[in-house]
C-alpha cells in the first residue's frame, strides 16, 4: 500500500518535470523540414512532441473542447479569429519573443484582420488555394490548350467528366471550396448571405460525380505518383508534389496555378492555447521559428511563403522568385481573403458540404 502510494507520488513528480521540459506542437502535415525539429531540441534542450493534422475543422473541435494538451497550434486566420473570440488562446508575451522584430509588416497588416494587433498569434506560413495538374495527362485528355489555370478545369462538368478517368481530388475544406465555387460564377467569394451561398451547391454538385476523393493531404503523393491528374489543393503542397515527382524521375510533370479568376489567400497562424501546459516552452518554440534562418529553411522545404521579412535573404530563388509562392503585384491583385462565417451561416455551409460530399 505504502509502496504504491510512494510510487504514484514519484510518478506524479516525474510527469510534472517532464511537462516543463516538453513542448507539444500541433501543426499541419507536410509543413516543416523535420531537421528543424531536431535542431530545436538540440539548441534548447527541450523535448519536442510534434503532431500533425490536415484540417481546420479537426483542430477547431479540439480547441473549442479545451484541454488539447498542446502548447502551440496553427489555425488559419478565419478559424483563429473565431477561436480567439471563444477564449481558446492566451496573449503572447512580447518580451519572450525578441525575434519578432523579423516579422514582415506587409503580412502583419493582413493578419490583423483576424487577430487585431497580432496579440495572440504570429504568422507561420501563407499561401493560396488552387489547381494542381499532371500537365501531360491533362493535356492528353483535354488537348494542348486545356485551361490548366482556370476554374473551368474543375467546375465545368464537361471537363471534369473527361478528367475523372485520370483521377481528381478536391480539398475537404468547405470554407475554401464554397468561396471558390462562388468566385467561379462571379459572386462575392466572401458572401455570408445564405441565398448567395446556396448558389455554390449546384456548381459543386455538378462536378461531384467526377471527384474521386475529398481529402486534404493524400493528393500530394497521389499527384506525384501519377495516381491522379488534378487536385484542387494548397499551393505549397502541390509544389511539394512537383518536387517529389522530379526526385522520383517518374516522368510526371506537376504544375500549380492560382486560378486566373481569383484565388483564396490564407494565413496559418501559430498561437498558444489558453490552457497550454507549457506556455514558457511555447514562447521558446515561437522564438526559434521566428529566427530568420530557421524560417527560411522551413519555407525552402515546403514551398510556402512566410511572414518573416528577415528570412527573405536566405530563401532559395525557386521560392522567393516564384510568383506562385511570393506573388508579384499583378498576382496579388487577383487574390481574395475571407472572413469567418457567423455560427448560423457556418451550420448552413456545413450541411451543404455534407450533402455535396455524400453526392445525394
Ligand atoms: C500544409 C497545408 C497548409 C495549408 N500541408 C492549409 N492552410
128 lines ligand 1 (CB under 6 A): no
Q: What number is the average pLDDT over the span 195-203?
A: 98
pLDDT interval class at 2 (50, 70, 90): very low
- In this model, does residue 108 exceed pLDDT 70? yes
| Alpha carbons 54 and 213: distance in angstroms, whole number | 15
Residue with cell 498561437: 271
Distance 236 CA to ligand 1 centre (A): 8
Q: What number is the average pLDDT over the span 240-266?
A: 97
Per-residue pLDDT reduced to its tens digit, 18-39: 567 999 999 999 999 999 999 9
If one residue of 74, 78, 111, 125 were mutated to test the ligand 1 pocket, choosing by the most ligand atoms within 8 A of its CB, it would be 125
* Amino acid 3: pLDDT: 38
Distance 271 CA to ligand 1 centre (A): 16
Distance 17 CA to ligand 1 centre (A): 33
Distance 12 CA to ligand 1 centre (A): 37
- In this model, does residue 7 exceed pLDDT 50? no
What's the Cα-to-Cα distance from 114 to each of 34, 35, 118, 242, rounded to whole Å? 29, 31, 8, 32
176 lines ligand 1 (CB under 6 A): no
Distance 64 CA to ligand 1 centre (A): 20
Per-residue pLDDT reduced to its tens digit, 279-324: 999 999 999 999 999 999 999 999 999 999 999 999 999 999 999 9
| Alpha carbons 248 and 101: distance in angstroms, whole number | 40
Q: Which atom of ligand 1 is nearest the CA belonging to 268?
A: 7
Protein residue whose Cα sits closest to atom 3 of ligand 1: 28
- The whole model's pTM is what? 0.94
30 lines ligand 1 (CB under 6 A): yes
Nearest to 244 by CA among 234, 230, 235, 254: 254
Per-residue pLDDT reduced to its tens digit, 135-179: 999 999 999 999 999 999 999 999 999 999 999 999 999 999 999
* Amino acid 19: pLDDT: 62
Q: Which atom of ligand 1 is nearest the CA belonging to 127?
A: 4
Amino acid at each position: 500500500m505504502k509502496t504504491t502510494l510512494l510510487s504514484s507520488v514519484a510518478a506524479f513528480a516525474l510527469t510534472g518535470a517532464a511537462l516543463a521540459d516538453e513542448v507539444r506542437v500541433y501543426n499541419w502535415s507536410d509543413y516543416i523540414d523535420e531537421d528543424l525539429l531536431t535542431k530545436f531540441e538540440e539548441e534548447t534542450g527541450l523535448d519536442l512532441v510534434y503532431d500533425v493534422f490536415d484540417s481546420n475543422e479537426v483542430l477547431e473541435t479540439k480547441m473549442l473542447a479545451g484541454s488539447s494538451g498542446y502548447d502551440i497550434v496553427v489555425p488559419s486566420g478565419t478559424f483563429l479569429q473565431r477561436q480567439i473570440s471563444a477564449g481558446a488562446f492566451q496573449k503572447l508575451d512580447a518580451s519572450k519573443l525578441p525575434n519578432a522584430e523579423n516579422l514582415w509588416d506587409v503580412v502583419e497588416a493582413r493578419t490583423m484582420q483576424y487577430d487585431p494587433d497580432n496579440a495572440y498569434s504570429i504568422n507561420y506560413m501563407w499561401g493560396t488555394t488552387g489547381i494542381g495538374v499532371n500537365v501531360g495527362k491533362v493535356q492528353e485528355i483535354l488537348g494542348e490548350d486545356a485551361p490548366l489555370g482556370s476554374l473551368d478545369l474543375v467546375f465545368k462538368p464537361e471537363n471534369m467528366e473527361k478528367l475523372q478517368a485520370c483521377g481528381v481530388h478536391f480539398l475537404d475544406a468547405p470554407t475554401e471550396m464554397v468561396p471558390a465555387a462562388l468566385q467561379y460564377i462571379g459572386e462575392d467569394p466572401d458572401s455570408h448571405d445564405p441565398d448567395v451561398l446556396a448558389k455554390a451547391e449546384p456548381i459543386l454538385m455538378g462536378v461531384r460525380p467526377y471527384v474521386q476523393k475529398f481529402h486534404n493531404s493524400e493528393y500530394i503523393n497521389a499527384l506525384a505518383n501519377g495516381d491522379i491528374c488534378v487536385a484542387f489543393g494548397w499551393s505549397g503542397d502541390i509544389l511539394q508534389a512537383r518536387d517529389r515527382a522530379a526526385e522520383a524521375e517518374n516522368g510526371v510533370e506537376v504544375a500549380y496555378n492560382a486560378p486566373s479568376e481569383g484565388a483564396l489567400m490564407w494565413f496559418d497562424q501559430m498561437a498558444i492555447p489558453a490552457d497550454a501546459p507549457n506556455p514558457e516552452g511555447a514562447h521558446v518554440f515561437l522564438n526559434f521559428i521566428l529566427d530568420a534562418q530557421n524560417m527560411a529553411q522551413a519555407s525552402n522545404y515546403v514551398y510556402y511563403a512566410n511572414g518573416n521579412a528577415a528570412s527573405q535573404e536566405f530563401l532559395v530563388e525557386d521560392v522567393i522568385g516564384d510568383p506562385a509562392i511570393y506573388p508579384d503585384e499583378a498576382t496579388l491583385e487577383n487574390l481574395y481573403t475571407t472572413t469567418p462565417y457567423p455560427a448560423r451561416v457556418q451550420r448552413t455551409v456545413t450541411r451543404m458540404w455534407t450533402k455535396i460530399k455524400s453526392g445525394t
